[in-house]
Structure formats: C-alpha cells, structure tokens
Structure 1
Amino acid sequence: MLSIDSITTIQLVDPAVLSDPHYWAHTHRKSVADRKDGLETETLLAHSRLTLHYYKVYCQKKGMEKVVHDLIEACGFGKEEGQTVYLLFLYAIYLHDLGKINPAYQAKILENEYFCKQYHKGDKSQHSLAGAYLYIDHMYKVVLKNPSEGVCKFLAAFAYCISRHHGKLGNGRGFSELGLWNERYFRSELDSEAFDRIEYDMQQTLHGRTQGNEPLAFYILGRLLYALITGCDYCATQEFMTGQAVEPAVLGEGGVGLKERYDESTLCRSIRSYQKDPTSFSGDPINELRTQMFLEAEKNLLAQPEAHIYYLEAPTGAGKTNMAINLTLRMLEVEPKIRNIVYVFPFNTLVEQTKEALEPYFGKQLAVINSLTPVLMGEDEKEENYDEAWLDHLFHNYPIVLTSHVNFFNALFGCGRNQCFPLLKLCHSVIVLDEIQSYKNGIWREMISFLQCYAKLLHIKIIIMSATLPQLDQMLRTVDAQFVTLIDDPSSYYQHPLFRDRVHLDFSLLEQRQEKITLEELKERVLAFKGRRVLVEFINKRTAQAFYELCKEECNAVLLTGDDNGARRKQVIDRIQQGEKMILIATQVIEAGVNIDMEIGFKDISLPDGEEQFLGRINRSCLLKDGGVAYFFDYDDAKTIYRGDARLQYSIMDPVIRKSLQEKSFDKIYELVFAELLTRTSKANGRNIAYLDQDCVQLNCQDVEKKMELIEPTYQMFIPYQWEELNGYQVWEEFKELCCNREMSYTQRKVELSRLALTMSYFTFTAYDDKKLLGAESFGGYFFIEGGEQFVEDGILDRKTLEKYFGGVIW
C-alpha cells in the first residue's frame, strides 16, 4: 500500500514545466508602498510541494490516508487498481495549480515580466480548467497504462475537482465546457490524439453508473478531494503570505486532560458514587433516574465501540447534555484515533445553553461557530493574528466545536470552498446531533443514507439524541454502518411516574367542537390561570401577536417568537427562571431545549414531535406535587406551516396518535411516518431516491446540495429602532462603514463584521419574498427598512403594520 511515509521518499514525477523557476504560483508585497523592491515570489514548484506537505499534515493529524484508502476500496477497487487511483488522488492535490503556466496568468495576475511578451491581448488568464487538462495529460504519461473504464472515471472526477478549485462545485454532468478551452499555451503540448482522448474522458466517464453502495462513496471521495485541494492550497498560500505554518487543532490522544477535569467534577463524582453503591444515594428520585440512564448509555457505548451511529433517546429533563459530554469522552478513550468533537444543534439557543454546560470542562479548547458568535482572536490583535483567526474560523480549526445544523450540512453537501473546509475536521471525529427530529422531514431517508456512509468511511462516530428520536436506519435500503441503541428500553423511563405523570394531557378543547376555537374563548381559558406560570404556544407568528394584543391589558403577558433578538429572549427566560408569574405567548421557538419550567400549557396542535417537545417545558423540574397540565387546541392549519411534512397526517386529532403521545410510544408514530416517506421516495417521479445515486455517480454536487437543503432561502430585513442603549441607525452606519473600509485587510474586516453580527441581529428580521421588499435599500445582504420605530415597539415586531407598509405578506 502506498503510504504517506513512502511519499516522502518516492519522488512524484514532475512535469518538466513545473520545475521551471520562471513560473510563479504567488507574489506578495510586504506593504502597498513596496511596489518594486518589496515583491516576494513563490515558484510553482515550491507551492505544489507545500500543498502536498499539508496533505501529509492532515494524514498525520487526522488519519486522512486511511480515510482515502477506505473510500477508494468502498468504490469497488481491488488492491492494484486501488493503488493507481490513490496515486491519481495524490497527483490531483500536487498538480492542482499546474494551469498557472498560462502566460496570461503569469503576466496579468502575477505581474511576471518574463511572460509579458508571451501572450496575446485578450488571452484568458484563468488556470483551473486548463490545469484539469494538464493533470490528465501528465497522468497518461507517467501513471496510466491501458486504464480501465473505472479508473478513467475517477481520473475525470479528480480533474473536475481541479477545474473547480477556485470556484464552486457544480454538476459533473455539465463538464462539457472542457471542450471549449483551446488556449495555445497548453494545447500545443498535446498531440491531437491525446487531446481527443482527454476530451472524451472528461465528457463521457462522469455520465456512467456504478453498482451497489458505490455511488455515495464516489460522491464523498470527490468532495473530500475538493476539500483537500482547496484546504491544502489555502494553508500553503497562507504560509507563504504570512510566514506562519498552519496546524490542524486536535485533542490529545484519548482526550487527555478533558476526561480528568470532567471526572473530577461534583456531578460526575456523585454518579460514580452511585455506580459503586446505589444504596448510598441520597439525592432526589429524579436524579437517581438520570443517573441510571447515564450509566446505561455509557455501558452500552463501551460494550460496542466499533459501532458508527448511536441513538440516545431519553425523556425531556433526563440530562441528555451531561450524558453526551460523558459519551464523547468515553469514545475518546476507546478510539484513540478520534481527535475532534463536534456538537450540532438546530437552534442558536441550544448552542448557547450547551456552551455554558461545556465550558467548565472544555475551557479554551471549545469554540462556537455560528452566525452570531464573533471569530475567536488571540490576545494580540495584529494583522497576522487576524489571518490566523479567520483561517481557524473557516476550517472550524478548534479541538471542540459547537455549530449549527446548517454549517454541518454545508460541510457534507455544500458546493463552495469555505463550506467544504470543515469536512477535513470531521474525519476521525465524534459528532453529537441534537434534536434531529427538527431537521426537514422530507429528506430523512436521504439524510440517513449519507450519514451512515460518512460515518463509516470517514471514521466518524455519530451520537443522535432527542426526547422524540426517529431511528432513521429503518428507512435504509442497505444497512452498511452499525447502529446501536444506548438505552435498551426507553419506555421504561418514559413510563416511570416521575416522567409519565409530570404533565397531565387535556384534550377537552379538541373534543365535540363543530368549529375551531376562537381567540376570545382561548383567552378566557388562559386567564383563569393568570396568577401562575402559563405557556401558550401558537404555530403562527401573526396569531401569537394577535393573542398577545388581546391579553396584555389584563395580565402579565409576554410575547416571544422567532422575531425576537437573542438579548430579549434571554431576558424573558431569565425572568421565568427567577420565578416570575407570567403568561408567555410564544411560537415553536420555545419547543426544543429551551430551559424554562412552566406550570400550565396551552398548545395549538401541529406535529406529534412538537407536542412532546412542548410538554418538556411544563413541570420540567418535576417539582409540582400534582403535576402540570397541558391543554391542546386547534386554531391555525398546520399544513400552512409544515408544508409537505409526512407527520401532518398523524396529528393528535387521531385517537390512535393521541394515545401514542400519552404513552410516549413515538416508535409507533414513526413507523407510520417512515412508511409514508418510503412510499413517497419510491414512486416513479423526481423524488425517487434512485435519483440520489444518479446525482452522486455524476458528481452533480449542485443538485445534491439543493436536495439536502435544510431551510428555504430567506432574505434579511434590517429594521432600525432604539433597543435599550443601542441605536439601530448607528449600528447600520457602522456596518456600512466596515463593509466599505478598504484600509483594513480582508481578514480583519471579516473578523470585525463577525463582532458586529450579534448587535446586527437585534435589528434583523426574516422575509421569504424579496419581491415584496421593492423600494427598500439593499446593501451587504440586507434590506434596510427606513423608519423602524413604526414597526417595532419594546423590541416586538408589529407584523401587521409592516405588511400594510409593503402591501402584502412577506414571510
């Protein structure tokens, strides 16, 4: 087997042109003033070698070589052909910039005077597409001898990645553009037969088919090569420009240091004490149950460390966050090659809550990467530190990362370079996916197909956890990964009186009604409890606001929706946690993971998962002697909110589903949902899952990205108003000034913008139809809405007034 160690001793055969010192890869001036004497140059050969060096670094730090070999084997290659494909893979990284021999690129882009007379005015200066041709030509000359069709397919795919390494991945089936490239500087080096052969390979081999489980492995291998080409290229360029080497941030073997800190915590010592002698436990009964679940999950993980995906299903309030911390640390013990931990959440509120829980144990090794958290900087804010900080942010280059499900899916399916960089850190990692039931229901089957392949082939351990956990492997056509349930019988905990009787479910508002409930009727029922902590959840923001307006004069009513900024949301949650009696009128924003404890609940019915997540906010601490009460009613049509969701037809209006909710038998509900999804994705139409194989085989990355899109595209409105000490108009001007500041370096500007992101979010609201925003100033990805005071009062967006202003619904 070719190994990375052998690469250091076996010289890759260079194209003759690569060794010519006249060809540069990059130039760099120490300052703008140094127009002549300050020019530093890097030869194309030096850059190519440094890029391959960074592949070696990833092999040493992240076990990348093993990952690549396993992917090639999963694509169906035996030992001999597999070695050839691996060599093609290495050359693709090494020769990715060979197209820079273009005289127009050397003269126009790099200002290389040696080539100023060697190109014609109007010649193209691109290099990526030409590099794909030159790479293939060199492979035929030094590597390939009568290659099989399968090898040619991979050669074409790898060349495609080279052609896209300064842009986005597109659809491989559209790779016919190669035939349009006819620049003299490289075509003259190829005889007509070679040119025709290359053109055929590129246009035809990406249109073939593979069998079995090879399509997804082929897709993942192509994406990984693209991430390695762009990532190693970025690191090598960064080192030349700054003089600083880049190191992938990883945990010590076995998680040394982290495990000890956690094991010495008061919470963990209490659990270990119970483990040694359950009779000595002096805590309350709910903590005893949590401890039992903790130990059972740990035991099952340690018994099956070879598995790829683990399910952690436990009731709301069972301490899943603490269990997840322990499970990730135990995984580091039994799998020493695991070097990173990634926690993935569908909501930023969960990110912040989990960060608070993790920081005492993980400290500075922990980083949050989402749209609201500033880029981490070192102590000195020098220019080179901005460069380093921005690279770390792009690559998720921290030992432990908390991030969003959108960022995670970008790493798995995104087409852009910045989106793909974190894929390199996912190899040999533990990933915790929280609240997976909130991911778009229509792609669950495709999602689990990809997750099992990524987990097995990139050596990832995935822990999926939720109180309403769909065991998605039941929808797999072929089970290749090993799935383990960490709690043997979740129902034994769900049915325990402490969890089962924590909330009494009342369906009286749904029964024997000819018409839906009115808001006036609902108000009367809700205000009967106005001296207590009451939660009223609607599924429509406008309805929530209308009910708030109806109630606010007669009680301590508080409105909380997805429109509210993080600071206001925290204020409301703090008030609840301090024991304030209020009627909280909210939307689904409070469902998953929000740490509030209410006494009474009213909920507009939606999906079974949503109903259970809502129940998790009632009597969360189990301290109410007689339990809490949750009333369900029907007001807004859930179909308008959850369009296309397979769970819609299984609402609690059905007595069977209602009984399953009462008994916490979510597996029975999911059996019905899975059957519906299997039917949908097996019909003879564009949603048939067979098209996923076709897209993977053809490297139709753009189509796969679209298919795996978690949320619909949205547009950001910036509505300025006075929020406490913040003036929205001043924040907007600061944002515009930062965007237009060309005295700052690119990386410093990006870091400063990330610092402003949270403040910007206080005045940012979402719209789904930009056509309704005609007339609004558009800048920097935002629509600026003048006169925000008329639309926002006490931090609450008045949707009705805003709709009237724009003449129609904009979300």
Structure 2
Amino acid sequence: MKDDCYYAHSANHAGIWHALGDHLTSVGELARTFAGFAPWREEARLAGEQHDLGKYALRFQARLRGQDAGLDHWSIGAWLALTQHQAVAAALAIQGHHIGLQRADRRSLSGLEPGRLASQHPLGLALSELDPLRLLERAHGDGLEFQTPQTKAVLSWAKPIAAMLDVRLLFSCLVDADFLDTEAHFEGDATGKRFRRAGPNLDAGAALRALDRYMYSGIRSGRPMQSAVREARETLWQACTEAALAPTGCFTLTAPTGSGKTLAMLKLALEHARSHGLKRIVLAVPFLTIIEQSAQIYRAVFADFPEHFVLEHHSLAGLGAETAQGDAQPPHERERRLLAENWDAPIVITTNVQLLESLFSNRPSACRKLHNLMESIILFDEAQSLPAQLAVPTLAALSHLAAAYRSSVVFATATQPAFDSLHEAVSQYAAHGWQPVEAVPNHRDLFTALKRVDVIWPEPGGKRTWDDLAEEIEGIPQALVVVNLKRHALALSDALRNTPDVVHLSTNLCPLHRRAVLSHVRDRLARGEPCRLISTQCVEAGVDLDFPRVYRAFAPLEAIAQAAGRCNREGRLSESGKVEVFDVEEPGDWRRRFPTHAYFQAAEVTRRILLDQGAIDINDPAAFRSYYRQLHDLSLPANQNPVFDEAIKARDFPEIARLYRLIDQDAIQVLVPWSERLDDFEILRAEAEGDGIGGAWMRRAQGLAVSLYRPRADHPAWGVLIPAKLRRTGKADHQQDEWFILEDSRGDHYDETLGLILPQAEQVLIG
C-alpha cells in the first residue's frame, strides 16, 4: 500500500491492493455494458464511476488500514450524482449499493445533503468526507472525468411502477458490476484481476436442433398415443413456431393439459430468441414439484450441451452437493452458485417467488440479476397462480420490461386468467397496460380434440362424508382424491386406514419424501397395480400423474381443472376418465373448508356459475374467461392492496419490498427424520448441535425440511421443536428463529405415510 495512492479494497492473497481509480473505471464500464441498449446506459456508467467516490476520503483509507470504522462512503457520491448531474436513478443506486434502495421522494433525496447526514445519519454512521469537491479533486487526479448523461432512467414518476423498475434495472447493473470487479480483485494474483468464467451463450439454433432431435427420436416416435393427441400436439408445436415470429412483447399461451405445453413453450422461446437475437430464456414456475419435472425435461433435451447451459435457481437446486461438513463444494456446484447470483446462463429455471419478488426488491443481492432479464424471454408456467392482490403491480412491471427492454413475457396455462380485463388498472402504473397476444389462436380446438374426461358435478346441497367417500374409493383400484386442506387429507386417510395401497401426499411430507411418493405412485400406475392417492392441492399443477378416476373437493374452477389434468392424462382409456367434484359434510362455518378467503371466494364464483348453468365445461376456454371476469368483478384486484398502492405512490422501495410477498413469510422450517434419509438427518442434527448451522447446512437441509406457519407462543408444537443454533462467527453469538429440529425419539411426530404430525397440527401446517 503506497501512501500517495487511493484504494478501493485491501490486499488480495497475492498482496496486491485494489486501486480506487481502476475500480471505479472498471465498474462504470461494466455497468454500461450490462445496460446494453438501454437509453440510460451512460447513467449506469456514471453510477459505477461514482459509487465509491467516498473512498477517496482519508478516513476511508485509514479504515482500510484498520485505523477507522463506522463510515458511510456511498452517500457523497449519490449526492453528487443528484446535484451535479440530476441523475436520480444513479443517485438512488449509489446510495443503495450497500444498504438497499431507499425512498425516492423529494424529502428523502434531499436528506443526502452532507451537512444533514453529518448531523443526523439514519444509520448512526459518519461520512467519510464532508467536502464533495475535495473528493472530486482526488478523483480527477486519478484520471476520472464524470460526464452528465444526456438520457436518464427517470424522466417522470407518472407511471410509478415502470419508473421504479427502471431504477432497479440500473441498480442491478451497478451492483453486479461492483460484485464482479471486487471479486476479480480478490481472486486475482500478481498479474492482475481474475474475473470469473462467464456462463455459456444461448445458441438458439443449436438448441432448437437438440429440441427437435429430442422430440422426434424420443417423444414423437417412442411414446404410443392416440392420433388425436398426436395431432393436437403437432398443432400446438406449429402454432408456437409461428407465434415466435411476432415482435417482442407480452403473450398468452393457452393449451390443455396433455398437449405437450412444457416442450411447446421451449420451442416458442427458442424460435423467438433466434428470430430476435434474445440472450436468455427464463422459466418461472410456482411450485417445486413443477420445477423438478421441468428441469428434468430440460436437462434431457440439452444433455450434450456445456455444463450450466440450463441453470436451476431454487431451494432444491444442487441438493446434497456439499460434503458432510457443509462448506466444501465440488467445482461444478460452486460454479452453479456463482452463475445463479446474476443468472449468467442461457436458460434459467427458477420460481415465481425468486423472479417476481426480485422485480420488487430493494436489496442488492436480489436485484443483482435483474439486468439479465433485458433482451430475454420469460416464461411463466401455470400463470393462474399469480395472487389477485399482486396482479396489477406484477403485470405492470412485466409489461414495462417487455415494452422498454426488448423482452418477451409468456403466460402459459390451461386455465388462462382474464388478466386483460385489468388493462386499465395496469395502465395507471405502466404505459402499455396489459394486452397480450395469444400464441395459439385456435386453442379452443385443442381443448376439444384433447377432451379426455367427463366431470360429474355435485347436486345443489349434496354432501359427502369421509366414510361414504372412503367406502366408494375402496372399490376403485386406481383413484386420486384431491382435497383443500391437510386435515381433510388426514381425515380421509384415516377413514381408509384398513384399505391397502393408500398413499398420502401433502406438504406435511418433506420434499425428498414427496419425491419418493410420486415416484412410487407413477411406478404402480405404470404397472397397472392398485394405487389410491389422497392429496392436497400440491399434486395438481405440473405433476405428471395419470389416474383413470379423480375425485376433487369443491374448489375454484381452475383448481378443479388442474385436478382433472391428472385424469386420463395420456388419453389411454377406451372411454373418458371420470372426475367427480364433491362437497364435504362438515359442521361449523362452511368457509373453514377452504384454506384462504380468496380461495373460498373463487370457489363461490364457481358455485354461482354452476347454479346458473347446471354444469361447466372445463374443456371450453371461454368458460374460464367468464369465470375470471366474474371473479375480478367480485374481488376487484386493483383495489385489494391499498397499503401497497400507498408505498408505490411514496416511491418507498424498502416498504414495497417488504409488502410484495407471493407466500406467507411468517414461517419456520423443521428438519424431520424421514426414515429413508435418516443418516442424513442424523448428520445434519449432529452438525447443528455441534458447530451450528450456516448457509450450506440450510441448503442441504431443504430436502428434509417441512414448512410450517409459525405457531403461536403457547402452542404445544414448541414442545417438540428444538431451535437450531447459528454457527459461531467469532463475533457475538447470533440467534435465529426460522430453523428447528424435530425431537421425535419415539417416532410419534413424523409418520412414514402422513409425514409431520404435531399437536393441533391443522392450525400451523402450511397448505
């Protein structure tokens, strides 16, 4: 370290200090590159060049030598970007690159003024330097010149979700550039910085050839199927090929279960990417059951492609790749985790939670990958799963991403929501609203051609008891029963306790246990052996099962259709499969038969239509359009979230990030002793009791973890839940309240059939 030089970071393992001028220049150039064709790319460069300007302060240089602490080195650069360059997005990004994006109202931005921060810093920190001109002088001495960008990201807040997404995308460019350049310094040696190896590029032409080989050598030639099914799949395939030629934008892809939608989506995405030179395909799915199935198909298609051509980013990705000690990782797994940080891969498979919550996040780590959504095609499978209370802001963000950044968004499902009815509400937040193009204009013909089930609707007022239903199921060798609540699954399983070949499936079972159950069920179905599966909704969307008979507790119309998709799925029966919808006879408030108020509300819309019409044709897409329009008229999605709307109007990035949640976050994870992986459980428990738990432990534990809503303080469940302690870090001990280990020495609380059973379990288990 030279006394007359300014540094960004301390020495790496080769003893080389990171020169500040080099860091700012490099981050600026990287940020501009990541911005691609965006009109605000020069503002991204400015953000990179000024993000660590406060490190030119003598106090910060002393901090690098361990002689100072408690410094804010970011606010001064944000203030200069705001006042000298009128670059609001750059200022917010610079301010947030360590602490997250903050509020963007005028009062909050004026709080960046050095004098105000010096007298009352919100984090109790001291500014590394009070005089911005002194820092600029030193930066100029390092050869830096800061140009005011001609075009900026935020020109108006009139469409607030669109403007805030622009800020997040610029923020993404900055934080990814900063991460990568800093990492390259610490991975470097005496010859210079060493940047990580980039992920492979999307060669859409080669990928299409691989997909066609897979289809023709495996799916089309190798699987017996009815001619109607084959023709329908060919029709869908051709429609997706033609739709891919359309300009980038927003699409719906409406196709029935069993039509080959998973591979047809991929065909559309690859053809579209080849036509428009898009860089990346992102597949987002709502449930881990779907993600495992889709990932397996994608890996098979691209088996001969470079490693990480298909990148999985979800809680079960890389499960078990670490050693027993938890921290060591095989090289390929370490590379996967690095690529997952910023989605640097041609095909990314992830969850709705990971993608959509990132679009509304304010945290550097979550936003880091967002710039890689530009010039990409984003596929949403089972699009009907988007919560109504978040529909309008979500559609606005996706609409703006497509319209402004040459990306395409595809909502694929057999039960397409009528989101275009929300166009006017979406237009309040993003100029283009929501007016998607249907990729399969003749999709109604596909539903007619692939009609494989008849639905038996309940008579008005007709009720079934669990004992009645159990008696009927005993006489059917292969049947699937889907219920709305875990306690209902337990009640029916109990009524069938003396019946052989009964299998239970719910999220009471840990993921590895669920995976094993589904494999067992598929094997028995394939061999024609008796199999009676009692399941919650976790079996519906995307789970490839084919039963001749399905029973479905009364539910929203889309849930009934999803359950019907597990009946005669491949069309192998000589006649239509049978789906019977039933009402449960249960004392007390009838709303308790449903998991949430929104679920109950949607079920009642279904019941109203049924009373009016006598029956509903689940093979008619028009029936779903009418259903969703009535549901939107009743639930008013645009008015469901006033607190969130207020946060948007206030441009409050932290509050928006806190409020935008696809699933209930007040949950805990319980490590359970499933017998087939008992050794893994014992190893994980021993590590937790010894060294404590860390990130690697949590990743390895995901497969043996059951999620619960957090029990109330006096709940008896706490008597068998042992808190896992965090690994010691050399600092003060930290407590965590999310991970617990099940104390089940007698085997009372984790059952080989029913999974986790706790006292009063129905009050705490996540459905």
Out of 154, 163, 167, the position equivalent to 2:95 is: 163
The structure-2 alpha-carbon separation of the partners of 1:297 and 1:697, relative to structure 1 and needing over 3 Å to count, comes to same
Out of 251, 273, 288, the position equivalent to 2:201 is: 251
The structure-2 alpha-carbon separation of the partners of 1:282 and 1:662, relative to structure 1 and needing over 3 Å to count, comes to closer
**Structure 1 residue runs without a partner (length 5+):** 1-18, 31-37, 59-63, 73-85, 145-151, 192-207, 273-280, 741-748
Query: Structure 1 residue 288: deviation in Å?
Result: 1.4
Match of residue 743 from structure 2 = 786
The superposition leaves residues 549-582 of structure 1 with CA deviations (integer Å, 9 ceiling, x where unpaired) of 1212133211100222233323332333232312
Out of 650, 656, 664, the position equivalent to 2:605 is: 650
The structure-2 alpha-carbon separation of the partners of 1:545 and 1:106, relative to structure 1 and needing over 3 Å to count, comes to same
The superposition leaves residues 330-351 of structure 1 with CA deviations (integer Å, 9 ceiling, x where unpaired) of 1122111x11111111111111
Query: Structure 1 residue 371: deviation in Å?
Result: 0.4
Contact 2:456 2:579 in 1 (8 A): yes
The superposition leaves residues 513-536 of structure 1 with CA deviations (integer Å, 9 ceiling, x where unpaired) of 3xx43222222232232xx21111
* Matches for 1:196-211 after TM superposition, within 5 Å: 210=156
Match of residue 797 from structure 1 = 755
Report the 3-state secondary structure (helix = DSSP H, G, I; strand = E; otherwise coil) of the residue aligned with 1:52: helix
Query: Structure 1 residue 423: deviation in Å?
Result: 0.6
The superposition leaves residues 378-414 of structure 1 with CA deviations (integer Å, 9 ceiling, x where unpaired) of 9xx8899887554322112222111111111133112
Tell me the amino acid that sits aligned with residue 37 of structure 2: K
Contact 1:718 1:763 in 2 (8 A): yes
Match of residue 253 from structure 2 = 312
Match of residue 13 from structure 1 = none
Match of residue 65 from structure 1 = 36
Out of 613, 632, 638, the position equivalent to 1:681 is: 638
The structure-2 alpha-carbon separation of the partners of 1:366 and 1:87, relative to structure 1 and needing over 3 Å to count, comes to closer
TM-score of the pair, normalised by structure 1 = 0.77
The superposition leaves residues 484-540 of structure 1 with CA deviations (integer Å, 9 ceiling, x where unpaired) of 1112132222233xx33x2121124x4343xx43222222232232xx211111111
Out of 326, 335, 339, the position equivalent to 2:267 is: 326
Match of residue 183 from structure 2 = 238
The structure-2 alpha-carbon separation of the partners of 1:643 and 1:511, relative to structure 1 and needing over 3 Å to count, comes to closer
Tell me the amino acid that sits aligned with residue 187 of structure 1: L
Contact 1:25 1:47 in 2 (8 A): yes
* Matches for 1:590-739 after TM superposition, within 5 Å: 590-635=539-584, 637=590, 640-645=594-599, 647-652=602-607, 654-656=610-612, 659-662=615-618, 664=620, 665-677=623-635, 679=636, 681-682=638-639, 686=642, 692=645, 695-696=647-648, 698-727=650-679, 728-735=681-688
Match of residue 347 from structure 2 = 400
Contact 1:536 1:602 in 2 (8 A): yes
Match of residue 550 from structure 1 = 495
Match of residue 767 from structure 1 = 709
Query: Structure 1 residue 25: deviation in Å?
Result: 0.5
Tell me the amino acid that sits aligned with residue 369 of structure 1: H
**Structure 2 residue runs without a partner (length 5+):** 119-125, 135-153, 189-193, 323-327, 727-737
Q: Do structure 1's residue 285 and structure 2's residue 237 form an aligned pair?
A: no
The structure-2 alpha-carbon separation of the partners of 1:730 and 1:265, relative to structure 1 and needing over 3 Å to count, comes to closer
- 2:617, 2:201 → 1: CA distance? 42
Tell me the amino acid that sits aligned with residue 710 of structure 2: Y
Contact 1:770 1:810 in 2 (8 A): no
The superposition leaves residues 395-454 of structure 1 with CA deviations (integer Å, 9 ceiling, x where unpaired) of 122221111111111331122111112212211111111001112122222221221111
- 2:284, 2:748 → 1: CA distance? 37
TM-score of the pair, normalised by structure 2 = 0.81
Q: Do structure 1's residue 103 and structure 2's residue 61 form an aligned pair?
A: no
- 1:718, 1:792 → 2: CA distance? 11
Contact 1:778 1:784 in 2 (8 A): yes
Out of 153, 162, 171, the position equivalent to 1:217 is: 162
Q: Do structure 1's residue 525 and structure 2's residue 472 form an aligned pair?
A: yes
The structure-2 alpha-carbon separation of the partners of 1:185 and 1:666, relative to structure 1 and needing over 3 Å to count, comes to closer
Match of residue 358 from structure 2 = 411
Report the 3-state secondary structure (helix = DSSP H, G, I; strand = E; otherwise coil) of the residue aligned with 1:165: helix
Out of 67, 73, 76, the position equivalent to 1:130 is: 76
Query: Structure 1 residue 634: deviation in Å?
Result: 1.7
* Matches for 1:462-501 after TM superposition, within 5 Å: 462-477=409-424, 478=427, 479=432, 483-496=436-449, 499-500=450-451
The structure-2 alpha-carbon separation of the partners of 1:737 and 1:312, relative to structure 1 and needing over 3 Å to count, comes to farther
Contact 1:227 1:424 in 2 (8 A): yes
Query: Structure 1 residue 159: deviation in Å?
Result: 1.6
Query: Structure 1 residue 251: deviation in Å?
Result: 2.5
The structure-2 alpha-carbon separation of the partners of 1:778 and 1:397, relative to structure 1 and needing over 3 Å to count, comes to same
The structure-2 alpha-carbon separation of the partners of 1:386 and 1:447, relative to structure 1 and needing over 3 Å to count, comes to closer
Q: Do structure 1's residue 348 and structure 2's residue 291 form an aligned pair?
A: no
- 1:103, 1:770 → 2: CA distance? 51
Please report the RMSD computed on the Cα atoms of aligned residues, expressed in angstroms.
Answer: 3.5
Contact 1:171 1:699 in 2 (8 A): yes
- 1:105, 1:383 → 2: CA distance? 37
Q: Do structure 1's residue 339 and structure 2's residue 279 form an aligned pair?
A: yes
- 2:473, 2:71 → 1: CA distance? 69
Report the 3-state secondary structure (helix = DSSP H, G, I; strand = E; otherwise coil) of the residue aligned with 1:659: coil
Contact 2:503 2:532 in 1 (8 A): yes
- 1:167, 1:128 → 2: CA distance? 9
- 2:157, 2:28 → 1: CA distance? 32
Report the 3-state secondary structure (helix = DSSP H, G, I; strand = E; otherwise coil) of the residue aligned with 2:71: coil
- 1:606, 1:468 → 2: CA distance? 14
The structure-2 alpha-carbon separation of the partners of 1:671 and 1:810, relative to structure 1 and needing over 3 Å to count, comes to closer
Query: Structure 1 residue 468: deviation in Å?
Result: 0.4
The superposition leaves residues 162-208 of structure 1 with CA deviations (integer Å, 9 ceiling, x where unpaired) of 112112224334556535412576324569xxxxxxxxxxxxxxxx9
Match of residue 18 from structure 2 = 42
- 2:546, 2:402 → 1: CA distance? 36
The structure-2 alpha-carbon separation of the partners of 1:355 and 1:89, relative to structure 1 and needing over 3 Å to count, comes to closer
Report the 3-state secondary structure (helix = DSSP H, G, I; strand = E; otherwise coil) of the residue aligned with 2:97: coil
- 2:516, 2:531 → 1: CA distance? 13
- 2:131, 2:504 → 1: CA distance? 70
Match of residue 5 from structure 1 = none
- 1:269, 1:783 → 2: CA distance? 44
The structure-2 alpha-carbon separation of the partners of 1:488 and 1:171, relative to structure 1 and needing over 3 Å to count, comes to same
- 2:215, 2:155 → 1: CA distance? 57
Contact 1:503 1:619 in 2 (8 A): yes
- 1:168, 1:764 → 2: CA distance? 31
**Alignment length, in residue pairs?**
686
- 2:369, 2:596 → 1: CA distance? 31
Tell me the amino acid that sits aligned with residue 450 of structure 1: A
Out of 356, 373, 376, the position equivalent to 1:426 is: 373
- 1:612, 1:384 → 2: CA distance? 44
Contact 1:307 1:484 in 2 (8 A): no
Contact 2:381 2:413 in 1 (8 A): yes
